[in-house]
Amino acid sequence: MRGTRRLTPKKKNKYKDNLSAAPFLLPSLSGFVLLSLIPIVLTFLISLTSWSGLQSLSVFSSAFWQENFIGLDNFKEILKSEEFWRVLKNTSYFLVIYLPLMFMGSLGIALLLNKPYKGSKFLRILYYIPVLTSWIAGALIWKWVLSPQYGILNNILEIFGINGPGWLLDEKWAMPGIVLASVWKDIGFYGLILLGGLKAINPVYYEVAQIDGASKAKQFFKIVLPLLSPSIFFILIISLINGFQIFPQVMIMTTDAGPNGATQVFVERIYKYGFRYYEMGYASALSWILFIIVFIFTTIQQKLEKKWVNYDA
């Protein structure tokens, strides 16, 4: 009969394989749909409303939409507000300081621990402890360390004749203080990834380079960095996404997002608009703007990946 399609044996086998794999994928797929996909769709729908979050959410009710629907007004209001650009500036300032410090620190730790020596295993455990530490405990510790009155950091600076800043109480130094705590917390995780990348490099490359008379510096730039580029690319993607979503350190270490809003960031604003000011529609719109920004930066990084990432081990 015309219009009927017959499956080839190859397609039949592929169809059977997919069908047999479906029961194993169902638990993960169900979790993705229930915990990720549906909330994403609901968040977008809420962003088109003035829903406060206090009354019941009835997205299938015409009365709900008649009462709360405002279209793209939340997005327009956010983009026109001075606060949004201040938040974007603060987040960008955080990333500009955080990413280089995190990368250089992680790479330095990975290079230090890559060579076997006495006590190296102990150091691997020691530098990874901050990763396992709760952000609440870590942020409270750093709030004490950066205290201008009795903080240990300013006391150390005073030994060298340096008058330490007010840190979290100073508009200029509040964000660098947040950066210090964030680098301390994350450097062990990213350092472990880079250490794994270093271990994966074939030692033959170093032996050949030594035979050719290449210096340590030349080996680093011609062998280590190119072959480590996939790991570097991965940590840059992850750290950029995490950097845009900083939240616990800001909430715990600073009061009301720092002096004059110096530490106002996206997730902190989303939380406060949603759960303090009860403007859930506005908070949802802000979260979608954050998603678009992260998506743009991630896409740019993936486009640049082909130019500098080397997967030839």
Q: What is the CATH number of the domain that holds 279?
A: 1.10.3720.10
The 10s digit of each residue's pLDDT in 257-308 is 888 899 999 999 999 999 999 999 999 999 999 999 999 999 998 888 888 8
Number of domains in the chain: 1
Residue 77, token pair as written in the block: 């209001």
| Residues written for the chain | 313
Q: Answer whether residue 23 is part of any domain.
A: no
pLDDT on residue 164: 87
Residue 63 belongs to a domain: no
Is 197 among the domain residues? yes
Domain span including residue 229: 74-308
Q: What angle do CA 149, 150, 156 make, to 5 degrees?
A: 105
pLDDT at 313: 57
CB 139 within 8 A of CB 249: yes
- Residue 48: inside a domain, yes or no? no
Q: Is residue 9 part of a domain?
A: no
- Distance between CA 234 and CA 117 in Å, rounded? 28
- Radius of gyration for the chain, computed over Cα atoms and rounded to the nearest angstrom: 25
Q: Is 247 helix (H, G, I), strand (E, B) or coil?
A: coil
Tokens in use for 136?
A: 């609440």
pLDDT tens digits, 180-211: 999 999 999 999 999 999 998 888 988 888 88
* pLDDT for the residue numbered 234: 93
Evaluate whether residue 110 is within a structural domain.
yes
> What DSSP assignment string belongs to 15-65?
HHHHHHHHHHHHHHHHHHIIIIIHHHHHHHHHHTB---SSS---TT-HHHH
> Which ranges of the chain have pLDDT less than 70?
1-17, 312-313
Q: Are 184 and 138 in contact (CB under 8 A)?
A: yes
Domain-embedded: residue 4: no
Mean pLDDT over each residue of the chain, to the nearest integer: 88
CA–CA distance, 292 with 282 (Å, rounded to integer):
16
In a domain, 213, yes or no: yes
In angstroms, rounded to a whole number, what is the distance separating the alpha carbons of residues 228 and 217? 15
* Confidence at residue 1, expressed as pLDDT on a 0 to 100 scale: 45
